[in-house]
């Protein structure tokens, strides 16, 4: 019998003591702590200023099924195989004064050009990390300024609403804008949440330009599907729901399930399927003291709880206490 091929990459949480310093099949090694750092000699390794909220925090490892090559080009670090591209940029905001919109526009313009130049035109998933999300400049908070700059860069491509990737944007406690992404040769399918308004169509009260991302991206690789779920919060329609962390968590789990059902594909869309079927959960918690309630709530609701990473990070709205992203692979 011929063997079923494996997808071109896996994303797992691993014990840092067992992750080798060098691995010819590694696309990315993402570590979590107190600083944003990138190593100019090591394009597969990033350190994010997101402190873990549980002991013995794992490392996020992306591993390919074929040897990886990588390097740096005009400020972008990258690793790739014949099928997938991991890329990132670590930007010093001081170059742009207090204009985060200009910094975000610059970073996205470069990254969007880069993945196309490399021959991977399909942007599948993006992560955005920067400090002081709710500090106000020019009448907007920094998250709104970031969305404004990102939107300007996307307009120039132009990237249509149906092409927008899944994304996360979280506030760190260290300087610097750090953005990383996954791109492929062929596009995935954008998935929206029927319980929520598309982020692209949020009312103007959330900012002069929309947060430009999809709720998830479904990509069918040769060895099976991957579902990349964006950072998901306690939002129904476009309104924040609840002011207490356990209630927000219950709404998040309902939203995750709705996104899975919206794929229309088994086993994700099976009536009994829920977030316990996901391969990885990453929870960003605004207040460190709430981590115990998030952990307990997940353990009560999911059997089993998927591999979980609890991190201290600011969420895009000041009234949101927790946000969770997911992966099905």
* Residue numbers annotated as active site: 323
Residue partners of 204: CB distance under 8 A and separation at least 6: none
Q: CB–CB of 29/79 below 8 Å?
A: no
Q: CB–CB of 176/46 below 8 Å?
A: no
Alpha-carbon distances, residue 291 vs 1, 8, 20, 284, 295 (angstroms): 47, 33, 29, 9, 6
First to last CA, the chain: 23
Q: CB–CB of 196/255 below 8 Å?
A: yes
- Rounded Cα gap, residues 25 and 50, in angstroms: 26
- Rounded Cα gap, residues 304 and 320, in angstroms: 26
Q: CB–CB of 309/282 below 8 Å?
A: yes
- Rounded Cα gap, residues 224 and 125, in angstroms: 17
Residue partners of 297: CB distance under 8 A and separation at least 6: 245, 246, 249, 250
Residue partners of 19: CB distance under 8 A and separation at least 6: 29, 59, 61
Q: CB–CB of 47/6 below 8 Å?
A: no
């Amino acid at each position: 019998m011929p063997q079923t091929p494996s997808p071109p990459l896996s994303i797992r949480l691993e014990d840092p003591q067992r992750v080798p310093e060098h691995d010819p099949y590694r696309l990315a090694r993402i570590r979590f702590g107190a600083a944003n750092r990138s190593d100019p000699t090591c394009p597969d390794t990033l350190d994010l200023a997101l402190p873990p909220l549980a002991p013995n925090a794992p490392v996020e490892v992306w591993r390919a099924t074929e040897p990886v090559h990588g390097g740096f080009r005009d400020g972008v670090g990258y690793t790739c195989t014949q099928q997938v591209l991991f890329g990132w940029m670590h930007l010093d905001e001081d170059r742009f004064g207090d204009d985060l919109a200009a910094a975000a526009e610059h970073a996205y313009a470069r990254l969007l050009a880069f993945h196309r130049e490399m021959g991977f035109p399909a942007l599948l998933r993006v992560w955005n990390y920067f400090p002081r999300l709710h500090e106000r400049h020019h009448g907007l908070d920094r998250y709104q300024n970031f969305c404004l700059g990102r939107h300007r860069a996307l307009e120039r491509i132009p990237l249509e609403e149906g092409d927008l990737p899944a994304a996360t944007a979280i506030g760190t406690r260290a300087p610097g804008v750090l953005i990383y992404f996954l791109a492929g040769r062929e596009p995935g399918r954008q998935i929206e949440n029927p319980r929520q308004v598309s982020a692209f169509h949020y009312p103007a009260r959330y900012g002069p330009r929309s947060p430009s991302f999809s709720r998830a991206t479904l990509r069918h690789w040769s060895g099976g599907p991957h579902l990349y779920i964006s950072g998901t919060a306690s939002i129904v329609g476009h309104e924040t729901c609840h002011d207490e962390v356990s209630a927000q968590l219950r709404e998040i789990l309902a939203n995750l399930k709705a996104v899975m059902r919206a794929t229309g594909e088994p086993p994700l869309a099976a009536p009994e399927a829920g977030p316990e079927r996901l391969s990885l959960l990453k929870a960003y918690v605004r207040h460190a003291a709430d981590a115990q309630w998030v952990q307990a709530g997940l353990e009560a609701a999911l059997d089993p709880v998927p591999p979980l990473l609890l991190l201290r990070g600011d969420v895009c709205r000041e009234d949101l206490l927790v946000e969770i992203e997911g992966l099905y692979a």
